[in-house]
Chains A and B, each alone.
Chain A
């Protein structure tokens, strides 16, 4: 995982966006009679350290977009660049957190071993690996659960494990697909605050896809609003709410309400 000299790399990257999406289009069954356009044209940039949310009406191709951004799916036309390099596969410095933690965490491995997977792939030695596991489990505020199996934990704890596993390899960017959609409301608030803390502590770039407008406003620096399928960028909304944000304070502020209303109008009129 030891790339080129970090200071040189950092200097080179300082100005350029971490993620750059240019006129991305994605059609399924392209070139056949069943061709279905999921993404018509999407362009946006994500700067280093930024928190960007992508929202849109249901069926707007959000998941397709996420798969294109992560390198799981190749675009039909256009380009996605990660740290300046066109995406061909999932890049080393990018981690993905899926919505369905109960399936994305391997049930046959304990929590420790789940978190260890990316470290083993990267060839990290045993001692360093164990130290790193403790570090990331601590970062997501999980106590002594390393020897448990994921399915023995609550939903919220499982998603924390998934986030810990995504953080283990010290990625530059975290890509999250509706990560808090499968937990109850209280856990959802906790996890939203957790991801904000993690992002602040680790100085990481986050792109989060969600259908929940309140969540997007609460978390993001900027929000990319998609139209209904086939998706285009309807508007990119700045979220100038001050940080650190708190569930009660931020959500009850007047600015939050205005942004929320504006986004509601965008999403409901476009579907």
Chain B
């Protein structure tokens, strides 16, 4: 009981501390603007930015842009992740295929996705497809490697146990291989989701596809009086990143509640 109330107390004080830091940063920003330390032509004041953000939040433009961004991100992530799980599993289960293909995968993983952006623009133009391709491509390689390692990382005792229990084929894959690989896949997915969002914004900003990235570019081109809007939109992309990361972390905690890394973090549902 006392441990519980202690934990609740710690939780509240940590929330209070974080809120205090955010307030301090915002106040500091306002102070620097008001004192003239921040150049008003490139850095608007906090209150102007917040006022613009509030205005944006009730306008349809922001929500349309957000929808375009989310759609491109989610589609690309879904395609890239599905292919990665499929290909990674096949490569992880077949030693010969793994040894043959791994150098290519390792090489393609290191190719910066931005380098192929011009190519994607030439092929698809400023479209949703271009964005989806870029995200799927960027997510696919690192996640494939995670999946390969996960599938190959089945504990030897677990492997022996599966043999002894005569687990074979699909039953063994679903019942033993996949749960063993799940922690690797979950980590890969969490990182991929964040990377995917960055790639989406880049595809919009540079490739010109509709979304938050393009909106940022438009406000920049509109001149200094639109500067607060630029900053407001940047804040929105930041919040989107935080939401995505924490959503995937939550999902990981739920699905992997049995795993050593999660046991002390979440109620087990027992």
Contacts and interface: CB of A to CB of B under 8 A. Distances in A.
Asked if chains A and B come from one complex, the reply is yes
Interface of A: 67, 70, 72, 89-90, 92, 95-96, 98, 100, 103-104, 106-108, 110, 117-118, 120-121, 147-149, 151-152, 165
Residue in A72, A108, A148, A152 with the greatest tally of chain B CB atoms within 10 Å:
A108
Interface stretch (B25-33, B57-65, B96-104, B156-164): B156-164
Given A96-B164, A106-B179, A108-B179, 20 more contacts: A70-B164, A72-B164, A90-B163, A90-B164, A90-B166, A95-B164, A98-B161, A103-B158, A106-B158, A106-B161, A106-B175, A107-B260, A108-B258, A117-B167, A118-B165, A118-B166, A120-B171, A147-B270, A149-B270, A151-B258
B157 A103 contact: yes
10 contacts: A70-B164, A92-B166, A100-B157, A103-B158, A108-B259, A117-B165, A117-B175, A118-B165, A149-B268, A165-B165
B258 A72 contact: no
Contacts of B171: 120-121
Contact of A152 (B160, B165, B268): B268
Interface string B141-181: 00000000000000101101101111100010001100100
Interface of B: 155, 157-158, 160-161, 163-167, 171, 175-176, 179, 182, 258-260, 263, 268, 270
B60 to A, nearest CB: 45
A119 to B, nearest CB: 10
A104 B161 contact: yes
A151 B164 contact: no
Complex A-B, nearest 3 residue pairs according to Cβ-Cβ distance, in ascending order: A103-B157, A108-B179, A96-B164
Contacts of A110: 270
Nearest to A73: B160
Contacts, number: 59
Nearest to B157: A103
A184 to B, nearest CB: 21
B2 to A, nearest CB: 22
Contacts of B166: 90, 92, 118, 121
B163 A72 contact: yes
A121 B167 contact: yes
Nearest to A96: B164
A83 to B, nearest CB: 16
Contacts of A121: 165-167, 171
Contacts of A103: 155, 157-158, 161
